[in-house]
Amino acid sequence: MDGSRNLRGMIGSLLSRPDEIMLAAGASGELLVARLRLALALMLLLLPLTNAVTGGIVGESLIGLGAALLVTAFALLWLRLAHRPRRYLWLPFATAAFDVTATTVVLALLGWQHLPAALNSMVVWCCYVLAILMTALRIDGRTSLFAGALAMLQYGALNALVFAVASPEQLLSADYGAVTGGTQLQRLILLAITTVMTATIVYRMQRLVEMSGIDGLTRLPNRTWLLHRMPRLLESAREDGLSLSLALIDLDHFKRVNAEVGHRRGDRVLRHLTTLLNDAIYGDEWLVRLGGEELVLVMSLPTGAAWERTEILRRLVAAHRFDVDGLGGDEPVRLTFSAGIAACPHDGHDISHLLGRADRRLKIAKREGRNRVVARDG
């Protein structure tokens, strides 16, 4: 039961759109793939030259040279587009489709020259494997599954075409050996295995990247998540003409709580508090742990409305008792927090300026006695 649930979760994760941290990592991966593709394309130029020098068929050498030059030209184009990360959302799928389709086209051209070469050219067939493996660098399971499915579909179609038009005698070759259905089925299975392995690697990489954006104690998004997510939120707010506010929250005297009940129980109290806040926020709000007892609440609201929302949460926390050991044995702990609010566009247009302004107002709240929310510089 657990195994099937985990498998469904893995498949769902691979098929879903990556979050902001994953997309940012994937964008840098797309640039790395583009550079790797160009390097491999230049190396591919050596294959037809080697074939010609070692006495290979002239037609095959010319086809290989033309294909290598074409791939190199497209590799330069993909590299130029990849230098603009996240601008072309279709780029990973387009480049993966190009890598796979270019391999199929070369095999088809080889088959036009010499029919068994279309299915028994191991050197060219391995380019399918390379095309699938390279998708792992994008950290997007959809791209890996797309490339693998496309490779199997195209190679399967090429097999069906060759076996439909060729006689048994035409499938025999002194250079490429005999083309058999069993061998071709094995190659299709190998493509499926490569796809599954690549998708598994992507899933593992996604989990590692996800862990880098999640706070281990509270399971809230952390500073890494905030730094990757906020630029997109700010950009969307500017495009829609909306305000975006953040509240920098600091728990009052939390170090004293740790000293009185111990760090382990203090961590339990912190988890209880973040659960209380997380359950109280709306779907378009995000609660982030910066570290220690500092939290950030991101709201799609102007300054005044953001102050009202944060004030409601402040009163909720102040009225709540937090069970230290989770068993009701020890005296419950009362907590309060102070907060400073900054809003875009009034207080800044980037995360650095907004956090700086919010921190200044948080210090005002601390100086004025704590357990309050400040939205103005005073």
pLDDT tens column, 320-369: 988 776 544 567 788 999 999 999 988 888 889 999 999 999 999 999 99
Please say if the pLDDT value at position 309 is more than 90: yes
Position 86 scores a pLDDT of 66
| pLDDT one-digit tens code per residue, 110-143 | 888 888 988 998 888 999 999 999 998 888 889 9
Q: What is the pLDDT of residue 131?
A: 93
- CA atoms of 23 and 225, how far apart (whole Å): 12
- Structure confidence at residue 209 (pLDDT): 73
- What is this structure's pTM? 0.63
Q: Please say whether the beta carbons of 328 and 272 come within 8 A.
A: no
Average pLDDT in the 48-77 region? 79
Give the residue extent of every domain in the chain.
2-212, 223-374
Where does 1-57 have alpha helices with state H? 2-15, 20-44, 46-53
Query: What is the C-alpha to C-alpha distance for residues 48 and 56, in angstroms, rounded to an integer?
Result: 9
pLDDT of residue 327: 44
pLDDT at 311: 96
Report the CATH fold assignment for 223-374.
Alpha-Beta Plaits (3.30.70)
pLDDT classification of 195: cutoffs 50, 70, 90: very high
- Dihedral over Cα of 97, 102, 104, 105: its sign: positive
Per-residue pLDDT at 1 exceeds 70: no
